[in-house]
Amino acid sequence: MPKDRASASYYEKGEQISAVVTVQKTAAEVYDAWAGLSGLPRFIEELDVVARAGTRALWKGNSHGESFEWESEVLNEEPNRLIAWKASATAPVQNAGSVTLKELPYRRGTEVRVVIDYVPPRGAVADRVNKMMRGDPEELLRIAMFRFRQWMETGEIATTRGQPSARKPGRDEEGSKDEKKIATSAKEGR
């Protein structure tokens, strides 16, 4: 994803990642699915819950055996167009993000663009975060967006976890926590 965006990073010494996908739904349908951030755990497997109370949102989740939690303030919400948030000062990783929606003419769907600014952590926090992320942050965001589209358009997230094979142990992720999570989230139906 090119980094030549017009806007500078939100943080003075921060990084910016972004991803955009087009979803065959109206902006209203997409906006409703995000449900003011509390809908996120349905398609981001690492998140267990995002609890909203007024403009506050509490994010809780775990990844690769490490749990995390932070609080954020919703800065801006415009129905069917955008939602933007910023982590509180106590968050382990300073981050601010936005989702903007652009509905296309002729029922061509809605462009969903996510931009996240963050301050790369250092020291012990960095070690924990790296253990949880295991990959390039922008690629992980892109995977999450593909999964979001799968969820929105089909009601489930494509997976091969738990399928048979004669792969040697360690080469597949069978029986991982993520598998349980996906199976559960899929059952909710839409």
Partner 1 sequence: MKAACWQGTRDIRIENVPEPRIINPRDILVRVTSTAICGSDLHLYNNKFPGMTKGDIMGHECMGVVVEVGSGIKNLKEGDRVVVPCTIACGACFYCKQGQYSACDNSNPNPVESEKILGYPGCGMFGYAAITGSYAGGQAEYIRVPFGDVGPIKVPEGVPDEQVLFLSDILPTGWMGAANCGVQPGDIVAVWGAGPVGQMAIRSLLVQGAERVIVIDNVQERLDIAARCGAEAFNSDNGDVYEHLLDETGGRGPDACLDAVGMEAHGHGVMDVVDRVKQVVKIETDRPAVLREMFKCVRKAGTISLLGVYGGLVDSLPMGVAFNKGVTFRMGQVRVQALEHMLLDLILKGKIHPDEIITHTIGLDDVADAYNMFNDKTDGCLKVVMKPGMGREPEVRVRSAAKEVVTSRP
Could you tell me which of 122, 104, 106, 118 has the C-alpha nearest to residue 20?
104
Which of 17, 96, 109, 119 forms a contact with partner 1 (CB under 8 A)? 109
Which of 160, 175, 180, 184 forms a contact with partner 1 (CB under 8 A)? 160
Which of 156, 176, 177, 178 forms a contact with partner 1 (CB under 8 A)? 156
Instruction: Compute how many residues bind partner 1; rule: CB under 8 A.
Output: 33
Q: Does 170 bind partner 1 (CB under 8 A)?
A: no
CB of 83 to partner 1, least distance (A): 24
Q: Does 149 bind partner 1 (CB under 8 A)?
A: yes
Instruction: Report the distance separating Cα 165 and Cα 169, nearest Å.
Output: 10
Which of 61, 83, 157, 181 forms a contact with partner 1 (CB under 8 A)? 157
What SS3 string covers the chain? CCCCCCCCCCCCCCEEEEEEEEECCCHHHHHHHHHHHCCHHHCCCCEEEEEEECCEEEEEEEECCEEEEEEEEEEEEECCCEEEEEECCCCCCCEEEEEEEEECCCCCCEEEEEEEEECCCCHHHHHHHHHHHCCCHHHHHHHHHHHHHHHHHHCCCCCCCCCCCCCCCCCCCCCCHHHHHHHHHHHCCC
Q: Does 1 bind partner 1 (CB under 8 A)?
A: no
Contacts (CB under 8 A) with partner 1, residues 41-100:
none
CB of 113 to partner 1, least distance (A): 17
By beta-carbon proximity to partner 1, the closer residue of 115 and 152 is 152
Q: Phi-psi region for residue 150, left (φ > 0), alpha (ψ -120 to 50) or beta? A: alpha
By beta-carbon proximity to partner 1, the closer residue of 9 and 185 is 185
Interacting span for partner 1 (CB under 8 A) from 51-59, 71-79, 124-132, 165-173: 165-173
CB of 119 to partner 1, least distance (A): 25
The residue ranges that bind partner 1 (CB under 8 A) are 22, 24, 108-109, 139, 142-143, 146, 149-150, 153-168, 171-172, 182-183, 186-187, 189
